[in-house]
Chains A and B, each alone.
Chain A
Amino acid sequence: MSFFEKLHFQTNKNLPQLFSTELQLHHCSDASIGYTGKQKYEKKATLILTSHRLLWTTLKKKKVSGEYIPLSKVNEIQDSKSRKSKIKKIVFTTFIKNTKAKKKKSSKKTDDLVVTLSFKSPQNEFLEKFHKALKEKVWASKPKKETMGLLGTTARSHNTNKPSLTIGISGLLAREEKKKIQTTNTLSQAFTDLDSLMQSAKEMVQISEKFALRYKRAKEEEEKEKLWKEQQKKNLGMGIGSGIGSGIGSGIGSGIGSGIGSGIGSGIGSGIGIGSGMGIGSGMGIGIPRSSGISSGRNTRMSSGFGSGIGVGMPTTNQRTQIPTSSKNVPNQTPSTSDLLEFDEILFSVGIKNPVTKKGVSSNQYYKKLAKEIATFVAKFIEKMGGMITVIDTYCLFNRARGTELISPEDLVKACKQFQKLGLGLKLHKFDSGVLVIRNDFEDDSTIAKKILKLIQTHGPITPFETAMMLKIPINLAKEYLLTSEREKYLCRDDSLDLVFYENFFLIENYDYEKLENFLKNPKLSIEKSNIQMSSPKSNKKQVTKKTNNSKKKISKKNDDWELL
């Protein structure tokens, strides 16, 4: 133990810390290293051959430890007696003084350490690379040398045995070919690393859950402000996004002349951006540097990354989400209550963990479970949408929240049909025009019709577009509302130019024409000036006029209209 130097590991990862120019060449997990002598020493370990050292690591009770021999201290690899194709043992001499050893015949200097590597499976490659590494002596070469021209900078793919020295057009062609082979190898290896990525993604969800707990507590303490914030949020239209970005970096390293190794370096952050301008930042990226054969002639390792984001946004919003990039770790600030709820929303939207999938679940069961999941998801914002949300919008939002394991439109509809059966408080409703919506159980056509009637009575004749603007609902839904109200005989229509709806004066005895005529004379004034507040079940909240930015100012006016309902 004392002959070898202790291996340092990367923080929080069971990966050895490599030097800046050190590249991993080969590794073998079922190996053992040992030396004979006064004290026989043998240890099972994972062997890693790099350009600079020979490392081995052992895992004991989830804790990893290791040691290494610098290649500079390796003297000579002993030729195996029989040139068998299967090499399971490598013996080499070192310059390390074996102070405890007896004199050995095979060693040149009697007190030099002789190390034996033994493998369970044949490791011809290892031997080859070992030879090459010793030959090339990367640890000894200076940076200048390495960047010099064509010589010795081409890292070799372990598949080819061509000489590194190539000149002229044939050399260029050969190099191009090597590059191609290298990239394909890199890519294939990169995708196998997605598993580790998924692992990290799971960790991210765990982190977000932790946050959720923390914020839940904070939220409970601050209820008053919460009410106000919900008010505000209606107006903002939920410009919330969250993303979990993952980066797969591929490192391009300078060539060392031996094959491909892989080292895994990673940095952790997680990126969650909130549209109101407060960022609680943390980003995630995993860089996987490779010493691959793409010759860039450069010494340093380059990491290129690309990210994929999962964003969640609500439809009627102008505030966009921040697409996360791998950012620095920002210490968690105590969130203000104004962002508590928004963050809450993110987590709810994002935190559909364990999404229901078809695997291992019978078809009926699946739809039932899916229906429940949809119901809980939709329930969070159906009130803010006015008690009704189109199936199309649900499809978009739901799939975004899921991230993976997306559901098809047919599945969504099938699941929604189960709502009433399962008593989830929601129902699927189809309008005459064919538009499908999910709405609350207790809401039916007449309640909507009355709401719209009130709206018209205060604002005068109204188009679907204006309705949509005032109620902050999608225009097709607004049209459905108006048609419903018309069907209930509260409204009549004027279809000559654009579609406009009036109060149904045909069916009203002693209709007050005066009022309508006034509306017609002053069309715009009626909408802008009306500030009537009518009591409604939801409007126990006071309208606080605290405005933090301009967009909120404009929207708060519209909010009055929504209050009517």
Chain B
Amino acid sequence: MSYAWPRYYSLPPFFTIQPVMQTQKKQLQLWCDLVLAYTRSKNIHMIDLTEAEDSELFNNKKIERKLSRQSIVIVLEYLIERGNAKWVDKTKEKIQIVWRKPLEWANIIYKWATDNGFINQICTVYELREGDMTQNEEFFGLDIQVFMQALSKLEQKGKAKVFQSESTNESGVKFFA
């Protein structure tokens, strides 16, 4: 399945970080939107920089243009500024794409819980993430870390509580009204 690229993706200037400030800003915005949309559709949460150069996101083989490593970093840094990404560790080799903020995820999970009558009920995280019930949900297969962040947001709001079961290493969550 080939991704439906936006039109500017096939134009060479898109792959050169523009020197003129105003143009550059706009260009980076477009890049961010593209990265987020792409990772979302492909359900990618992590980008490894070394692999990124070859990925079709940053490398348009058809027009023989690609973002250089430096340019990719610039784009990602912009993403981080916008709050849509985070370096996994200090080495800055991997970046976590957050195309949805944890808060958003939290709301979605909670909504689902409410819709499906799981209020005041306990679910395991496994069930939520990879269970049969939630197969059609957006958060199905969501990255565990993101999931946990979302749950902790809910916790902060007081809408859920996360706890570890003693017997297994599984985590469970109870939703509150």
- Give chain B residues whose Cβ lies under 8 Å from the Cβ of A516: 11
List the 5 closest pairs (A to B, CB-CB), nearest first: A494-B12, A495-B16, A506-B26, A513-B7, A494-B13
CB closest chain-A residue, reference B10: A517
B15 and A506: CB pair below 8 A? Answer: no
Docked complex Cα distance between A493 and B19 (Å):
9
B23 and A494: CB pair below 8 A? Answer: no
Across the interface, B16 reaches (CB within 8 A) one of A487, A493, A513, A517, namely A493
In the assembled complex, A92 has its CB within 8 A of some CB on chain B? no
Docked complex Cα distance between A44 and B8 (Å):
98
A506 and B27: CB pair below 8 A? Answer: yes
Q: Which of B7-51 contact A (CB under 8 A)?
A: 7-8, 10-13, 15-16, 18-20, 22-23, 26-27, 30
A496 and B12: CB pair below 8 A? Answer: yes
B22 and A492: CB pair below 8 A? Answer: no
In the assembled complex, A119 has its CB within 8 A of some CB on chain B? no
A492 and B18: CB pair below 8 A? Answer: yes
In the assembled complex, A505 has its CB within 8 A of some CB on chain B? yes
Docked complex Cα distance between A506 and B8 (Å):
8
CB closest chain-B residue, reference A516: B11
B11 and A487: CB pair below 8 A? Answer: no
In the assembled complex, A504 has its CB within 8 A of some CB on chain B? yes
**Contacts beyond the supplied A494-B12, A506-B18: 16 A-B pairs with Cβ under 8 Å:** A492-B13, A492-B27, A494-B13, A494-B15, A496-B12, A496-B16, A496-B65, A496-B66, A502-B11, A502-B13, A504-B23, A505-B8, A506-B8, A506-B27, A507-B23, A513-B7
- Give chain A residues whose Cβ lies under 8 Å from the Cβ of B16: 493-496
Interface size bucket, A side?
A: 10 to 19
Interface size bucket, B side?
A: 10 to 19
In the assembled complex, A563 has its CB within 8 A of some CB on chain B? no
Docked complex Cα distance between A494 and B68 (Å):
13
Across the interface, A493 reaches (CB within 8 A) one of B8, B13, B65, namely B13
In the assembled complex, A101 has its CB within 8 A of some CB on chain B? no
B30 and A506: CB pair below 8 A? Answer: yes
* Residue of B7, B12, B13, B19 contacting most chain A CB atoms (<10 Å): B13
In the assembled complex, A489 has its CB within 8 A of some CB on chain B? yes
In the assembled complex, A486 has its CB within 8 A of some CB on chain B? yes
In the assembled complex, A500 has its CB within 8 A of some CB on chain B? yes
* Residue of A495, A502, A517, A520 contacting most chain B CB atoms (<10 Å): A495
Docked complex Cα distance between A492 and B22 (Å):
11
Tell me, rounded to whole Å, the shortest Cβ–Cβ distance linking A513 to chain B. 4
Per-position 1/0 for A499-526, Cβ under 8 A of B: 0101011110000010011001000000
CB closest chain-B residue, reference A508: B26
Docked complex Cα distance between A513 and B13 (Å):
13
Docked complex Cα distance between A495 and B22 (Å):
18
CB closest chain-A residue, reference B17: A495
Tell me, rounded to whole Å, the shortest Cβ–Cβ distance linking A516 to chain B. 7
Docked complex Cα distance between A496 and B18 (Å):
12
Q: What are 30 of the A-B contact pairs (CB < 8 Å)?
A: A486-B19, A486-B20, A487-B20, A489-B22, A489-B23, A492-B18, A492-B20, A492-B27, A493-B16, A493-B19, A494-B13, A494-B15, A494-B16, A496-B15, A496-B65, A496-B66, A502-B11, A502-B12, A505-B8, A505-B11, A506-B13, A506-B18, A506-B23, A506-B26, A507-B22, A507-B23, A507-B26, A513-B11, A517-B10, A520-B11
Docked complex Cα distance between A495 and B20 (Å):
13
- Give chain B residues whose Cβ lies under 8 Å from the Cβ of A506: 8, 13, 18, 23, 26-27, 30
Per-position 1/0 for A320-358, Cβ under 8 A of B: 000000000000000000000000000000000000000
Q: Which of A217-245 contact B (CB under 8 A)?
A: none
Tell me, rounded to whole Å, the shortest Cβ–Cβ distance linking B24 to chain A. 9
Docked complex Cα distance between A489 and B18 (Å):
10
* Residue of A502, A506, A507, A520 contacting most chain B CB atoms (<10 Å): A506
Docked complex Cα distance between A495 and B8 (Å):
16
- Give chain B residues whose Cβ lies under 8 Å from the Cβ of A507: 22-23, 26
B20 and A489: CB pair below 8 A? Answer: yes
CB closest chain-A residue, reference B30: A506
CB closest chain-A residue, reference B15: A496
- Give chain A residues whose Cβ lies under 8 Å from the Cβ of B13: 492-494, 502, 505-506
B65 and A492: CB pair below 8 A? Answer: no
Across the interface, B12 reaches (CB within 8 A) one of A486, A500, A513, namely A500
* Residue of B10, B12, B27, B64 contacting most chain A CB atoms (<10 Å): B12
Tell me, rounded to whole Å, the shortest Cβ–Cβ distance linking A275 to chain B. 42
Docked complex Cα distance between A487 and B30 (Å):
20
Docked complex Cα distance between A351 and B19 (Å):
47
Tell me, rounded to whole Å, the shortest Cβ–Cβ distance linking B50 to chain A. 20
Q: Which of B116-151 contact A (CB under 8 A)?
A: none
Docked complex Cα distance between A502 and B13 (Å):
7
- Give chain B residues whose Cβ lies under 8 Å from the Cβ of A505: 8, 11, 13
Tell me, rounded to whole Å, the shortest Cβ–Cβ distance linking A263 to chain B. 72
CB closest chain-A residue, reference B25: A506
- Give chain B residues whose Cβ lies under 8 Å from the Cβ of A487: 20
Tell me, rounded to whole Å, the shortest Cβ–Cβ distance linking A504 to chain B. 6
CB closest chain-B residue, reference A488: B20
